[in-house]
Amino acid sequence: EQMILSNFSEADKQRIRFVHVIDVYNDVKWVELVKSLVEGVVKPQDKVGLIGHFKDDSSYYLKFFPEWEMVELDSMQGSMSATPAREAYYRGDIQADAFPAGTINFLQSFQNTSIYQQLQDKFLTQDKSNLP
């Protein structure tokens, strides 16, 4: 939340709400959970939007909320996808040209936390186990 909000003005921050959704490996239950959580943070006059990109078959869930306005983003050609960005980050490299300034500041600060160190250790251990 902090990382995302760091890229918005104070006025925009007042309009943004987050809900924390656990993975429920059942699409029907997951959709019900998401809708319930969203209903818990919005007022009747609020607009709810869904922002996403139909990248491939893994984007199927974007069609689960037809009652929300869909803002479909174009493919971010030439931009880094999440997996390589995450791998670089846990190797200690932040791709500064791939993120907004607020995100860079957050990622740099987070590298100085014990949680980052734990995640990095876990990543590096898994990464080494995948070597031939």
Q: Which two tokens stand for residue 26?
A: 């059942």
Q: Where do the H-state alpha helices sit in 1-132?
A: 2-5, 10-13, 27-39, 82-90, 101-110, 114-129
Environment class of 41 (CB within 10 Å of its CB; exposed 0-12, middle 13-18, buried 19+): exposed
The tokens describing 98, both together, are: 């791939």
Residue 69 vs residues 1, 26, 31, 80, 123: alpha-carbon distances, Å? 22, 23, 16, 27, 37
Per-residue pLDDT of the chain (132 residues; tens, 9 = 90+): 999 999 999 999 998 889 999 989 999 999 999 999 999 999 888 889 888 888 888 889 999 999 999 888 776 655 667 788 888 999 999 888 878 899 999 999 999 999 999 999 999 888 665 555
Task: Report the DSSP pairing between strands 69-72 and 49-52.
Answer: parallel
Gap between the Cα atoms of 107 and 93, Å rounded: 10
Residue with tokens 């050609």: 77
- Assign 51 to helix, strand or coil: strand
- Residues paired with residue 72 on neighbouring β-strands, in sequence order: 52
pTM for this model (two decimals): 0.69
